[in-house]
Amino acid sequence: MERLTSRENEQIKYLSRLMRSKRERRAAGMFVAEGARLCAEALENRVEVLKAYLVPGALERYPQLARALTKTPCDCVEITPELSNRLSDTDTPQGVYCLCRMLDNGPHTVKIDTDGQYLALCGLQDPGNVGTIIRTAEAMGLTGLILAGSCPDIYSPKVLRSTMGSVFRLPIRVAGDEAVLLQEARAAGVKSYAAALHRQACLLPGTGLGPGSLVLIGNEGNGLPDAVVQACDAPLMIQMPGRAESLNAAMAAGIIVWEMARARLSL
> 162 or 213, CB closer to a copy of itself?
162
Interaction residues for a copy of itself, span 160-199 (CB under 8 A): 162, 164, 166, 169-170
Q: Is 115 in the site for a copy of itself (CB under 8 A)?
A: no
For a copy of itself, the closer CB: 26 or 169: 169
The correct pick among 50, 179, 180, 240 for binding a copy of itself (CB under 8 A) is 240
- Out of 139, 175, 202, 234, the only residue in the binding site for a copy of itself (CB under 8 A) is 139
By CB under 8 A, is residue 142 in contact with a copy of itself? yes
DSSP for 79-138, please give it.
Answer: E-HHHHHHH-SSSS--SEEEEEE-STTTT------TT-EEEEEES---HHHHHHHHHHHH
Smallest separation, CB 245 to a copy of itself (Å): 8
Residue 12 φ/ψ, nearest 5 degrees: -65, -45
- Distance of closest approach, residue 243 Cβ to a copy of itself, in angstroms: 6
Q: Which is nearer to a copy of itself, 41 or 178 (CB)?
A: 41
> Is 247 one of the binding residues for a copy of itself (CB under 8 A)?
yes
Q: Which residues contact 124 (CB under 8 A, 6 or more apart)?
A: 130, 133, 151, 152, 217, 218, 219, 220, 249
- Among 83-91, 106-114, 134-142, 178-186, the segment contacting a copy of itself (CB under 8 A): 134-142
Cα dihedral 63, 48, 76, 162 in deg (nearest 10)? -50
User: Shortest distance, CB of residue 208 to a copy of itself, whole angstroms?
Assistant: 14
Give the nearest distance from C-beta 144 to a copy of itself in angstroms.
12
Query: How many CA atoms are closer than 13 Å to the CA of 40, on its beta-carbon side?
Result: 16
Counting contacts by CB under 8 A, is residue 135 touching a copy of itself?
A: yes
Q: Can you tell me which of 56, 176, 189, 205 binds a copy of itself, judged by CB under 8 A?
A: 205
Of 107 and 242, CB closest to a copy of itself? 242
Q: How far is CA 37 from the centre of its chain?
A: 16
Q: Work out whether 63 is an interface residue with a copy of itself (CB under 8 A).
A: no
Contacts of 225-229 spanning 24+ positions with Cβ under 8 A: 225/122, 228/122, 228/178, 228/194, 229/194, 229/196, 229/198
Amino acid at 20: R
Span from 49-57, 65-73, 137-145, 193-201 in contact with a copy of itself (CB under 8 A): 137-145
Rounded Cα distance, 198 and 175, in Å: 26
Each residue of 170-186: b (16+ CB within 10 Å) or e? bbbbbbeebeebbebbe
The residue ranges that bind a copy of itself (CB under 8 A) are 128, 132, 135-142, 162, 164, 166, 169-170, 205-206, 238-244, 246-248, 250-251, 254-255, 258, 261-262, 264-265, 267
